[in-house]
Amino acid sequence: MRKPLLEVKDLQIKFETKRGTIAVSDGVSFAIGENETLCLVGESGCGKSVVAVSIMGLLPAHARVAGEIRYREADLLQCSPGEWSRFRGREIAMIFEQPMSCLNPVISAGRQIAEAYAANNRCSKREALAEARRKLDEVGIPENCFVKFPHELSGGMQQRVMIAIALACRPNLLIADEPTAALDVTVQCQILELLHCLKDRYRMSMLLITHDLGVVAEMADTVGVMYAGTMMELSGVEDFFYRPGHPYSRALMNVVAGNALSPIRGSVPHLLEPVPGCPFHARCVDAVEQCRRARPQPRIVNGRMERCHHFTGDNSGRQLDQMVSSR
């Protein structure tokens, strides 16, 4: 197997708060190969964004991080802040959910892109601006928007500017944290298409965080399902959609694939009071006594990982179409 670009091993992130310690990420592991897209899905508050932010090294000071985040040969968690910042922008870049608040309100769009380029490259102001013009063209923004300020641009345009900023230094890994959540459906489509196209052009790898299984189907090579800070399932996109393994994945799929809306009952357990056993057992239709007592360990069969006591690697009996028709 080829060496992955980014490898996260047993990532543990804890926040020390006044009301106690919260484990927002508990033993998350995944790997992203060159030119590959990994989608992280899961409900709100499951720790997806925290994992993304931890790869960037932008967690707040009260976060305690353990485990390993390996980018190529470097273990980012062992890096000094200065060394880590050399990866940001040039190697790993990030797109955030709210383009409006992530753009500096008093600097024009073009200059912000130039600034991102200049931050990582020794170059003259003119070169940076020329590069910014090229980037702006690449993300499909008309020339006259170069001098516009963020508030003069629409949400879709702002997100395009964000993408141009992220791509300013040709990163090898792009982390997109719900890049389309704040946008209109038609604009979402355009932005995803743009990301897809740019990913191929720059031969980037991508870590995409989303709630939208449609986006996953469109973009992903691998899908990671997170629940309450734990990686529940990690499998190829085909396996995930056609043979969803984990009961949580199946429930998620049920929500969107069923004819009628079938929500998952209950809500994500509060991270301040971790539940014993499998974190999903309270909402799981297949839960048995063992699920309430013992925490399932990750098991890997045929290249897919699951944390479930029921998991054997044989999902023939749980195919999606059967599942839908049985309802």
Smallest distance, another protein to C-beta of residue 139, A: 15
Smallest distance, another protein to C-beta of residue 64, A: 20
Smallest distance, another protein to C-beta of residue 75, A: 19
Coil/strand/helix, residue 23: strand
Q: Going residue by residue from 12 to 51, which x/- string records binding to another protein, judged by CB under 8 A?
A: ----------------------------------------
Q: Going residue by residue from 54 to 83, which x/- string records binding to another protein, judged by CB under 8 A?
A: --x-x-------------------------
Residue 85 touches another protein, criterion: CB under 8 A: yes
β-strand partners of 319: none
Smallest distance, another protein to C-beta of residue 173, A: 12
Angle among Cα 22, 174, 97 to the nearest 5 degrees reads 60
Smallest distance, another protein to C-beta of residue 307, A: 30
Which of 73, 105, 259, 317 touches another protein (CB under 8 A)?
Answer: 105
Q: DSSP states of 213-258 as a string?
A: HHHHHHH-SEEEEEETTEEEEEEEHHHHHHS--SHHHHHHHHHHHS
Q: Please identify, using beta-carbon distances, which residue of 84 and 241 lies nearer to another protein.
A: 84
C-beta separation of 22 from 12 below 8 A:
no
Smallest distance, another protein to C-beta of residue 111, A: 9
CA gap 76, 323 in Å, rounded? 42
Which segment (104-112, 127-135, 246-254, 282-290) binds another protein by CB under 8 A?
104-112
CA gap 54, 69 in Å, rounded? 9
Comparing C-alpha atoms, which of 40, 55, 8, 7 is closest to residue 224?
40
CA gap 170, 165 in Å, rounded? 10
CA gap 103, 96 in Å, rounded? 10
Residue 138 touches another protein, criterion: CB under 8 A: no
Which segment (2-10, 162-170, 185-193, 291-299) binds another protein by CB under 8 A?
162-170
User: Can you give the length of the chain in residues?
Assistant: 327
Q: Give the interface with another protein as residue ranges (CB under 8 A).
A: 56, 58, 85-90, 93-94, 96, 98, 101-107, 115-116, 119-120, 162, 165-166, 168-169
